[in-house]
Amino acid sequence: MRKRILCLVGTRPEIIKMSSVVNALRETAWADLMLVSSGQHRDMAASAFSAFGLSPDIDLDVMTDNQTLSGLTSRLFEVIEPILVEQTPDLVIAQGDTTTVMAAAMSCFYQDIPFAHVEAGLRTGNTKDPFPEEFNRTVCGKLSALHFAPTEAAYRSLVSEGVAEETIAVTGNTVIDAVMSISDTAPAGIDSSRKLILMTAHRRENFGVQLENVFRAVSDLLDTRDDVELLYPVHPNPNVAARAREIFENSPRAKLCEPLQYEQFVGAMRQAHVILSDSGGVQEEAPALGIPVLVIRNETERPDALMAGVSRLVGTDYCDVRAALEELLDDEQVYRSMARGVSPYGDGAASARIIDILEVFFGFKEHRHTSDFVSEDWLAQSTGSVR
């Protein structure tokens, strides 16, 4: 019997991370897939859809300029429920920790529709950091019928919160499926022989003085060294964009641009000497590409790359950021130890595992032990990067 699956996405990373699942579902003989965009992001969502040749069947178009969390949340609740009532899906699947995903999980709960959560179980244990994502994920953890944990650590977090073990599977992160699907064809980000720092920044808990500290550390570094340049695709959130443009206005060798299309961004990551970022997805992709990441956050729910020694949590202090960058620019040994190309977050087969488990869930297959992705094992076996 065919099943109606509704995949709900809203922001750039959700589209990137669900692209392989959407494609895999479309290839099954049993799924009728409806791809719905909440429209939490507009232009960045359009770019991410086009990178994978996808377009939503329905776009709920909720984004407003400089939206507040309450305004966004209430608009999402208003628009998601009628779609669930109209489409009567057998299961809704969504990824991550955005307000879209939280509203989707709760709307499914109210409508008694099974919700499957991709990238389940990431936790810092601090509701204020990342804000509001830690809360959003915890809500999903309470309400999901199926939890697709990317790593063993995420699996253990869910179990420790009392989630039934038979509802959790360790699959790897679908972002590695995405990056592997295009890393061979990704074009170079910049035409230069200087050492490239690639930067992204958008976290709400960093807005204000913390982001300004980071921007000044990078800008001052560029002032003093002509062997280095910056490529910074600026997130369109007005709380980031205005200050970024002001601080880097007169910076030599700072190239600020609009968000890059996924393929171009992967090309820029591959070309980077070091990546400075508060992004979740970038923390997962860069290690797989063999590029060191300095994480400009005080906490991370993605400790696996830190433990593997291929990323570092540097926070947002001016001196710490500048010192960490200088070390990676000047100390060959430290650099080589971080640029090893290991992929603690996945092996590129996460979506295949997810489909497998959905087939067990719907009774198309016998139950089996599904935790066949074990990050520590993968890390031990991993011989190199995916590039």
Closest CA to 51 of 271, 291, 266: 266
175-200 burial string, b = 16+ CB within 10 Å, else e? bbbbbbbebeebeebbeeeeebbbbb
Q: By C-beta, is 137 or 202 nearer to ligand UDP? A: 202
Contact 334, 327 (CB under 8 A): yes
Residues 73, 78, 79, 80, Cα dihedral to 10°:
70
- Annotation says 273 is catalytic: no
Q: How far apart are the C-alpha atoms of 44 and 39, rounded to whole Å?
A: 10
Q: Is 44 a binder of ligand UD1 (CB under 6 A)?
A: yes
CB under 5 to 8 A by kind: which of ligand UDP, ligand UD1, none does 344 bind?
A: none
What the block records as the tokens of 279 is 């992004």
Residue window 216-245: x/- pattern of binding to ligand UDP, with contact defined by CB under 6 A: -----------------x------------
Judged by beta carbon, residue 17 or residue 322, the one nearer ligand UD1 is: 17
**How far is Cα 14 from Cα 95, in angstroms, rounded to an integer?**
6
Query: Could you tell me how many residues of this chain bind ligand UD1 (CB under 6 A)?
Result: 25
x-or-dash pattern for ligand UDP, window 172-201, by CB under 6 A? ---x------------------------x-
Is residue 279 near ligand UDP by the rule CB under 6 A?
yes
Active site residue 204: yes
Q: Which stretch binds ligand UD1 (CB under 6 A): 96-104, 158-166, 316-324, 356-364?
A: 96-104
Inter-residue contact 237 to 262 (CB < 8 Å): no
Member of 71, 82, 208, 238 binding ligand UD1 (CB under 6 A) = 238
If you search the block for the tokens 């490529």, which residue do you land on?
231
In the numeric block, the tokens 């299309």 are attached to 261
Tokens of residue 140, six digits: 């999903």
Q: Is the omega angle on the peptide bond into residue 132 within 30 degrees of 0, that is, cis?
A: yes
C-beta closer to ligand UDP: residue 41 or 75: 41
> Is residue 229 annotated as a catalytic residue, yes or no?
no
| Nearest approach, Cβ of residue 203 and ligand UDP (Å) | 7
Interacting residues with ligand UD1 between 103 and 142 (CB under 6 A): 132-133
User: Which of 274, 299, 129 lies closest to 200, judged by CA?
Assistant: 274
Q: Does the protein bind ligand UDP through residue 270 (CB under 6 A)?
A: no
Contact flag: residue 311 with ligand UDP (CB under 6 A): no
Task: Decide: 283 and 151 in contact? Cβ < 8 Å.
Answer: no
Site for ligand UD1 in 268-297 (CB under 6 A): none
Cβ atoms of residues 386 and 289 within 8 Å: yes
Among this protein's residues, is 194 annotated catalytic? Answer: no
Residue positions annotated with a catalytic role: 97, 119, 133, 202, 204, 235
Query: What is the contact surface with ligand UDP in residues (CB under 6 A)?
Result: 12-13, 16, 175, 200, 202, 233, 259-260, 262, 265, 279-282, 285
